[in-house]
């Protein structure tokens, strides 16, 4: 599929979030998914596509973890205030 790098990133992250939660927990999961899907996208990049996709997915993984930690901290603060 011929796409821009930005279109590829958005689509890959969308597909990543479609996976069951237990399949997107670790950096190894991100790397495996990147290896699996890299051949499906054709866009210009000076970087190795598989590594670039893995970096996008790891960034998304860590963003999700940070959001989860923030939500847990918010819940804990609400519980203590009650």
Range of the domain at 24: 5-81
Q: Hunting for tokens 């689509």 — which residue is that?
A: 11
Tens of pLDDT, residue by residue over 13-69, are: 999 999 999 999 999 999 999 999 999 999 999 999 999 999 999 999 999 999 988
Question: Tokens for 20?
Answer: 């069951």
Crossing angle for the helix pair 5-18 and 49-81, nearest 10 degrees? 50
Show Cβ contacts of residue 35 under 8 Å, excluding neighbours closer than 6 positions.
Answer: 50, 54
Separation of first and last alpha carbons in the chain: 53
Query: In total, how many domains does the chain have?
Result: 1
Q: pTM of the prediction?
A: 0.83
């Amino acid at each position: 599929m011929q796409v821009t790098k930005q279109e590829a990133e958005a689509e890959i992250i969308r597909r990543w979030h479609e996976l069951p939660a237990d399949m997107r927990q670790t950096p190894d999961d991100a790397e495996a998914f990147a290896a699996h899907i890299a051949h499906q996208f054709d866009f210009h990049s000076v970087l190795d596509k598989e590594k670039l996709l893995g970096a996008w997915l790891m960034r998304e993984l860590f963003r999700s973890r940070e959001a989860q930690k923030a939500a847990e901290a918010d819940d804990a603060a609400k519980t203590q205030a009650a």
